[in-house]
């Protein structure tokens, strides 16, 4: 599969969301969409990243932008994470890794000598016409949401 690049149409998808409904990317045409992929609910870096998107949520809304966090955690796990962190945006559950594969965010990781496949923290900004305008890979959680906000519009 060719690597995703800016300027191309974002691959469409439908995934279960933390509110119990399904979200389809194309239903948000007319708005900017931030898709941020993160490894796991309730872990240090992922919590920092979610809190920063939460704290800037009003500014994202002012820029006609919808934010979605995506991980392979369950909808139930997402619900607990949202409640604990008071997140004002939906988290999408990609339990079978379909979206992670589509957006090419699964990478080999090596932790304490043990290799595994996990989500590489990545963010995609999609414009109101469904075009990918920015791709951030190998993201550092702290300060990332502000960089994303500055890149919109």
The half-sphere exposure of 118 on its side-chain side, counting CA atoms within 13 A, is 13
Q: Which residue in 23, 46, 70, 145 is the catalytic one?
A: 46
For residue 100, indicate whether it is catalytic: no
User: What is the C-alpha separation between 106 and 108, in angstroms, rounded?
Assistant: 7
CA dihedral of residues 24, 129, 36, 106 (deg, nearest 10): 80
- Reduced to 3 states, what is the DSSP secondary structure of residue 20? coil
Residue 60's contacts (CB-CB under 8 Å, 6 or more residues apart) are 34, 53, 66, 67, 149, 152
| Residues tagged active-site | 46
């Amino acid at each position: 599969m060719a690597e995703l690049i800016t300027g191309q149409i974002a691959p469409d998808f439908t995934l279960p969301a933390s509110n119990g409904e399904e979200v389809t990317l194309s239903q948000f045409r007319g708005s900017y969409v931030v898709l941020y992929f993160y490894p796991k609910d309730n872990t240090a870096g992922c919590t920092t990243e979610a809190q920063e998107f939460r704290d800037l949520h009003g500014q994202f809304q002012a820029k006609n932008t919808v934010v979605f966090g995506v991980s392979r955690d369950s909808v139930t796990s997402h619900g607990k994470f949202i409640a604990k962190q008071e997140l004002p945006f939906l988290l999408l559950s990609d339990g079978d890794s379909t979206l992670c594969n589509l957006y090419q965010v699964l990478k080999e990781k090596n932790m304490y000598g043990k290799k595994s496949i996990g989500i590489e923290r990545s963010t995609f900004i999609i414009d109101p016409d469904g075009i990918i305008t920015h791709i951030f890979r190998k993201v550092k959680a702290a300060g990332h949401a502000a960089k994303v906000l500055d890149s919109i519009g």
